[in-house]
Amino acid sequence: MRVPLSWLKEFVDITLPVEELAERLTRAGLECEGIERIGIEGADLPWDPEKIVIGSILEVRRHPNADRLVLADVDYGAGAPHTVVTGAPNLFPYKDKGRLPQPLKGVFAREGAELYDGHAEGWVKMRLKGRLVRGIMSDAMLCSEKELGLSEDHEGILILPDDAPVGMPLRDYLGDMVLKFDVLPNMARCLSILGVAREIAALTGAPLRMPEMTVVEDGPPIEGRVRVTIEEPDLCPRFTATLIEGVTVGPSPLWMQRRLIMAGMRPINNIVDISNYVMLELGGPNHMFDADRVADQHLIIRLARPGERLVTLDNKEHNLDASLGGGMLPLLVCDPQGPLSLAGVMGGASSEVSATTTRVLLEVAVWDPTIIRRMSSALRARSEASKRFERGVDYELPPLVQRRALSLLQRIAGGRVAKGMIDNYPRPWKPVTLDLTPREVRRIIGISLSAAEIADLLRPLGFACDLIDNGAAVRVTAPSSRRDITMLADLCEEVARMYGYDRIPLTLMADALPEQRNNPSLELELRVRDLLAGAGLDEAITYSLTSMAAVAAVNPADADASLYLRLANPLTPEREYLRRSLLPTLLEALAQNLRERERVLLFEIGRVYLKRAPGSDDPRPEEPRRLALALAGRRYERSWHTPDETVMDFFDLKGIVETLLARLNVSGVQFIPLTDDPRFHPGRAARLERDGRVLGVIGELHPEVCERLEIAVPRAMAAELDLELIGALVEPVRYRAISRYPATTQDLSLVAAITVPADRVAATIRKYAGALLESLTLFDVYEGEQVGAGKRSLTYRLVFRAPDRTLNDAEIAKIRQKIVRGLEYDLGATIRG
Amino acid sequence: MSLIDQLNQLEQEALAALERAADLTALAEWKSAYLGKQGALSRLSRGLGALPAEERPAAGARFNAVRATLEQALERAEAQLKRIARQHAFEADQVDVTLPGRAPAIGRLHPTTQMLRTIYSVLGEMGFQVWESPEVETDEFNFQLLNMPPDHPARDMWDTFYIDTAPGEPTLLLRTHTSPGQIYAMRANAPNPVRAILPGKCYRYEQVTARHEMQFFQVEGIAIGEQISFADLKGTLVAFAERLYGKGVKTRFRPSYFPFTEPSVEFDIECFLCGGAGCRVCKHSGWLEILGAGMIHPTVLRNGGYDPEKVSGFAFGMGPERMAMLRYGIDDIRWFFSGDERFLQQF
């Protein structure tokens, strides 16, 4: 809401500096987002009071050397008139007419004045300099609106009203400030000058003034000439109508146009401008019909009927069906022949006020917020009127709006006002009355006030307050302008607001600490993040939304849209589906980073969104957390001390995953070869399983995936794990007693078929070694001629230790013998040494 | 020459020879020449027995003194040579200490994660515990139970992504705030008191710009009990702000509006970039909006299973990305979800 200061001052005296006022209002809940200055100190273009003044154009003469220029003699209140060379087309009709009987008023700028360049695109400042124009000295100007920064208009010079005082600095005449407020839904009452003024009056104690409302009802009575029928009283609780006849349509006065522009509206003509002006001023939207275009002067408020259509003011034709009411039939103002307007939202073209209108039928009504909201949403046209109706307009306001509008119409557009007002008020306002106790204020706000003090805080806002029960409570009745007040909490807020939020003390909760609980799910996340960062991976957070194209780039088989939750209103096609895997978005990030650097390691913890089986009780999807890892590029950063050029491969990622599982104390996870997943290299991928349950996948990306993602490095690795499953497998850490006795180390080199997986070899060794084996490390793998085709050699270091004694050679030899035989028997392995 | 004279001569000669020994080999030779079993000193010692008994003690004492002198001299010479040898070794082993070190590859946590952890820890000390709730929500939980029935004008404050659902199925949407989590936390605890924080991803149907993202994190906090007032809300928020932004940070409370709180408040801190003088980041107001809060609306308390006449509570919500942007001076929110290492590796 844009509030011109000059307008506000008509309603309430403002003695505070404007910045201070803005801060007071902000702290009272009406946030001032900024102060715009026009022409005055601090404006983008301050009008120099010495050089930009009101001038009187006495005579317009022909230019001796140019047909498209004229010479204007301007009296600007300082001695002899000054001659101005101008090409303003709106002065040409006065050319060669001699001294004007009624001089024109304009804005006179002298040499040295700073103005906007009227011919430039946008707002370019320039300083007025004297120069010869076709042989005549030009060192002053008559200004256009654009040159003054008042509007984009540069078609001619700005003509001021006849009573504009000659010689007065323009700054004093048109300079103003606009306070810009962010009006939240509960402050709908402040969508008007009156509403803002009322808040200021309540806060500062200054009295509130109402504007001029004198109407001379000099026409025949309206009764019997205009009829109003409300068929939908629940949707139209009140409808008033008045009639003014013999108006003259024309431009509205400059002061009104200026205020409308400053408030953010465009002037149209005096009738429409008055309608908008009164809406902005009092907060009551209204509609002006050309009464001659309303059949029988009978207005009928009803729902649309099948097949009806309406052309609105913006010349769009609408089918008046339920699609226009968000599922409800649209509410209309009609005459007996058909629809005239969409109630409270937009007028129709057929009954619009035009240049030839002489009789105006003025509608001021209160509409149900829901139907208005649905219609304006469906139309995608939030008008100034619908914005106010949606938030709720004061039921008691319409007669005031009628009087003010008629008063302005009569003054500005002339005409006779029909006696009386049609007031159809089927659902009268029911005032809300609540009993507020000091105890309740203390309970909710935490301040101790007496009932009398509470009443004193509320009264300036227009609340009627009576002390009841010997001062134990205040009976509060909300004014009709406060439709937002429905319960005690609302009143507590008003008390707190008027008391001042900043004056309320700071206390710390005195109640007992609620029962505390463990959160293993969060603890797991914290731990996984720490471990992976410790392992050298950076944490990414990517978008939960993706596209089928991005999914297909990783795995065409996954791009089955029917499995995914899809947005009904996506912003872009790239973010249309809720992900079922973290890999598409994380691998996009991997690919992106690889364009910039030689080594990338990323992880992400996030949710995926899985549709539930049809018929499930919960309509929401499942949202299990996943962990994804992606890495590629050099194993070591390029450096002077580690001239290792190797790139990471499957085992770099596997090592990270194994370490993670080990540090989480998740044991028994098997890596099963994964040969048929289109995302991965068939020989370099594995499924992680524990007790037959799949925990995730890990592997080098399939070269086709890399091609589609434009990953150019030789190998890129990715894994995706189910964090919920892993979390369930975490076992508590148990301390094992540390033996005081020395360890015995044995190396064991064996040859087995390549088809025997290493984890089977290790398991076999463990099986036969028994409890004395403290650790087992594979430290050499060899394939080649020496061991024969189809075979490989594996060399392990075994460390044995007993908790209670030093192991002797005989014991060790016996265990070794058992292992060797076991390997031979179970795996057909032979021992090399 | 008397034995004593011979000892004196030997001593002088040996010390002179030691002076000339330039390395450990020469020292070893010197040692065997003078102090060895077959060395000069041993040879002289054999003359002791031939001395008359009254001369023997003096000669013996002298003999021991010379041995001690020579042994000490040898020790000193050895130490000196070792020092020199080590000195040479050091010189050969010298490095340019300005060469870069071998950095352990330690990864980094996302700035949002770091901000969330700070929030968890500060609020955790005040007894607030983390609760999580779904991101894909029903209209009921995202709006209706939070006091926004259908067609409520406040719904305009949240532009919403809707899920494409079949006709007849319940409306699903991406939660526009973590506030639906309030209901879960309340229902799990009512009628007992609760203090919870609800972190998580939220979504808004908003054009993505440097200041607005379609996806962002939010942390909501609630405290419900029998004695909780607006003054407690203020105290809690100021304590929180002082932990995050320093003791004595200037704060401002101004009335605001959220459908699920009444009274509602916006909590600002003095802009720490300009010290309140006004700058681009604080839009020349001198204040930074840090969070929105209020006393939980009676309808919401009731929907959560509480009796609003018996208990009261407050709620507050904040944006960790915005807080991280202010803390680190980040000027574009889009980096947060870019997965770009140039961004991630700065925190």
The alpha carbon of residue B124 is apart from the nearest alpha carbon of chain A, in Å, by 10
Cβ atoms of A827 and A760 within 8 Å: the answer is yes
SS in 3 state form for A161-197?
A: CCCCCCCCEHHHHHCEEEEEEECCHHHHHHCCHHHHH
Chain A touched by B229 (CB under 8 Å): yes
Q: In chain B, what percentage of residues exceed pLDDT 90?
A: 63
DSSP state of A137: E
Give the number of residues written for chain B.
Answer: 347
Tell me: the pLDDT tens digits for A659-698?
999 999 999 999 999 999 999 999 999 999 999 999 999 9
Chain B touched by A26 (CB under 8 Å): yes
CB contact (8 A) between residue B235 and residue A508: yes
Q: Which residues of B touch A600 (CB under 8 A)?
A: 341
Inform me whether the pLDDT recorded for B99 exceeds 80: yes
> Which of the four pLDDT bands, split at 50, 70 and 90, describes residue A513?
confident
Q: What is the pLDDT of residue A426?
A: 97
Q: What is the pLDDT of residue A104?
A: 92
Q: What is the pLDDT of residue B154?
A: 80
Chain B touched by A569 (CB under 8 Å): yes
Residue A300 in tokens: 């009928």
Q: Which residues of B touch A497 (CB under 8 A)?
A: 255, 263
> Which of the four pLDDT bands, split at 50, 70 and 90, describes residue A326?
confident
Which ipTM score applies to this complex? Answer: 0.87
Cβ atoms of B205 and B160 within 8 Å: the answer is yes
Q: Which residues of A touch B335 (CB under 8 A)?
A: none
Q: In chain A, what percentage of residues exceed pLDDT 70?
A: 100
Mean pLDDT of A312-337: 90
Tell me: the pLDDT tens digits for B32-79?
999 888 888 888 888 888 888 888 888 888 889 988 998 999 999 999
Mean pLDDT of A87-108: 91
Q: Would you tell me which residues 591-610 of chain A have a C-beta closer than 8 angstroms to some C-beta of chain B? A: 592-593, 596-597, 600-604, 606-607, 609
- Return d(Cα A57, Cα A800) in angstroms, integer: 113
- Return d(Cα A254, Cα B269) in angstroms, integer: 43
Q: Which of A614-618, A704-708, B211-215 has the highest mean pLDDT?
A: A704-708
Q: Which of A182-196, A226-240, B143-157 has the highest mean pLDDT?
A: A226-240
CB contact (8 A) between residue B312 and residue A505: no
What does residue A437 show for φ and ψ, rounded to 5 degrees? -105, 155
**Nearest by CB: A593 against B153, B195, B340:** B340
Question: CA-based angle A471:A475:A476, to the nearest 5?
Answer: 135
Mean pLDDT of A747-771: 95
CB contact (8 A) between residue A512 and residue B215: no
Contacts of residue A769, Cβ cutoff 8 Å, sequence gap at least 6: A776, A798, A800, A815, A818, A819
A-chain residue closest to B217, CA distance: A541
Helices marked H in B216-332: 230-245, 298-303, 320-328
CATH of region B111-344, choose from 3.40.50.300, 3.30.930.10, 3.30.70.250, 1.10.10.10: 3.30.930.10
Helices marked H in chain B: 3-20, 24-34, 40-45, 56-92, 111-125, 139-142, 180-189, 230-245, 298-303, 320-328, 341-344
- Return d(Cα A63, Cα A466) in angstroms, integer: 76
Residue B107 in tokens: 């990864």
**Nearest by CB: A28 against B252, B255, B266:** B255
- Return d(Cα A242, Cα A225) in angstroms, integer: 10
Q: What is the pLDDT of residue A408?
A: 97
Q: Which residues of A touch B203 (CB under 8 A)?
A: 544
Q: What is the pLDDT of residue B327?
A: 87
Tell me: the pLDDT tens digits for A388-400?
999 899 999 999 9
Cβ atoms of A475 and A491 within 8 Å: the answer is no
Q: What is the pLDDT of residue B264?
A: 95
Tell me: the pLDDT tens digits for B11-35?
999 999 998 888 888 989 999 999 8
Q: Quick check: helix, strand or coil at residue B128?
A: coil
CB contact (8 A) between residue B203 and residue A544: yes
Q: What is the pLDDT of residue A786?
A: 87
The alpha carbon of residue A504 is apart from the nearest alpha carbon of chain B, in Å, by 6
Burial class (CB in 10 A: 0-12, 13-18, 19+), B98: exposed
The alpha carbon of residue A28 is apart from the nearest alpha carbon of chain B, in Å, by 6
Helices marked H in A314-392: 369-379, 384-391
pLDDT averaged over every residue in chain A: 94
Q: What is the pLDDT of residue B40?
A: 87
Q: What is the pLDDT of residue A833?
A: 62
Q: What is the pLDDT of residue B175?
A: 96
Q: How far is CA A506 from CA A255, A447, A721, B237, B313, in A?
A: 48, 10, 47, 9, 15
Q: How far is CA A675 from CA A483, A702, A725, A755, in A?
A: 68, 11, 23, 15
> Which of the four pLDDT bands, split at 50, 70 and 90, describes residue A341?
very high
Q: Beta A298-303 vs A227-230: how paired, if at all?
A: parallel
Q: What is the pLDDT of residue A125?
A: 93
Inform me whether the pLDDT recorded for A152 exceeds 90: no
Q: Quick check: helix, strand or coil at residue A244?
A: strand
The alpha carbon of residue A114 is apart from the nearest alpha carbon of chain B, in Å, by 26
The alpha carbon of residue B270 is apart from the nearest alpha carbon of chain A, in Å, by 14
Q: Which residues of B touch A535 (CB under 8 A)?
A: 107
A-chain residue closest to B151, CA distance: A370
Cβ atoms of A433 and A454 within 8 Å: the answer is no
Q: What is the pLDDT of residue B101?
A: 93
Chain B touched by A534 (CB under 8 Å): yes
The alpha carbon of residue B152 is apart from the nearest alpha carbon of chain A, in Å, by 8
CB contact (8 A) between residue B339 and residue A542: yes
Q: Quick check: helix, strand or coil at residue A337?
A: coil
